[in-house]
Structure 1
Amino acid sequence: LHCLPPSVEPRVSDHIPQIIDMIKQIIDNGYAYCVDGDVYFAVERISDYGRLSGRKLGDNRAGERVAVDSRKRNPADFALWKVSPYALSIQLFSNITELEELDFLRCRFIHCKVA
């Protein structure tokens, strides 16, 4: 393809605390919400959502490609964070106040506490 090699190859696992901070800001600003530890972006909060794709939010047909998650406020809402079923002790709440990063057997887990 005659592509140049990337100058930077960031690993998401190296930036988990920053990602959680950004998601917390999105929640605090009212653009995301928590359900059972998962965090979803509320697409209805963006008045021109879909402008880039040329589609209107109302044009989407829920459940056509993927089963509808009844926990979402809107079927078009998408996940910003999903709780891992493999994590040892992960708890996410709507009021995330303190984060601790744990290293365990070369795997990283995020443990969130509510004050």
Structure 2
Amino acid sequence: MHQYRLGADLLENSSAEKQLGLLVDGKLSMSQQFVPVAKKANGTLGCIRKSSASRLREVILPLYSALVRPHLECCVQLWAPQYKRDMELLEEVQQGTTKMIKELEHISYEKG
């Protein structure tokens, strides 16, 4: 546990520390990084869903590539996740994108 102080006052305890923009815990596991990334990517995808009237591939894919994919790519160094759930969090974002595209909404998303 890391303790942070401001003068004599204890601010908070933390089991993870941010190093070079990544959350790393005492076991050097980076699993805590996936949840905020997936949340931010899903939020951005929701904004696209609400603001775009078109569900055509030609409209959604450039928006996904420009606005959502960069959030997922920050985890590219983590794409060898230790836990299956970490990978599933990021795949759920991609699954939501395929369901949003009109031509792909009826196709089932297969997990690799």
- Determine which structure has the larger strand proportion and give its number: 1
- Tell me which interval the TM-score lies in, with the shorter structure as reference length: under 0.3
TM-score, with structure 2 as normaliser: 0.27
- Determine which structure has the larger helix proportion and give its number: 2
